[in-house]
Amino acid sequence: MENVQIKIFERERVETKPYYNPIFNMTESKRYENKQEYQERVNRFLMDHTIYSITPMVDGDFDEGSGGFTSKILVCYKAPGSEA
C-alpha cells in the first residue's frame, strides 16, 4: 500500500540585507520571497517527487474595498520509500 504525504506551499520569509520599514518604523532583515523564488522552490519539489494531486487553497475577506486574501497550494505526493 502506498503512503501519501501532504505539503502546503505558501510564500516564505527569507533573509535579506537589513532595510528600514517606515510602516512599522523599524529595521527588518527578512522579506517574503518573490514570485520567481517561490515558483523555483515549488518546481524543485514537484520535479523531485511523484505527485498525486495539486489543489489551490484560497482564503480571505473583502469588505467594502478593504481586506485581502491568502493563497496556498496543497500537494499530495508519494511518500519516500513507499511501495509502487
What is the structure's pLDDT at 82? 67
* Span 44-84, pLDDT tens digits: 999 999 999 999 998 877 676 666 778 899 999 998 776 65
Alpha-carbon span 49 to 65, nearest angstrom: 41
* Span 10-47, pLDDT tens digits: 999 999 999 998 988 999 999 999 999 999 999 999 99
Number of neighbouring beta carbons within 10 Å of residue 39 = 11
pTM score of the predicted model: 0.74
- Picking from 31, 32, 82, 19, the residue whose alpha carbon sits closest to that of residue 52 is 82
What is the structure's pLDDT at 42? 96
- Picking from 23, 15, 2, 7, the residue whose alpha carbon sits closest to that of residue 74 is 7
What is the structure's pLDDT at 69? 79
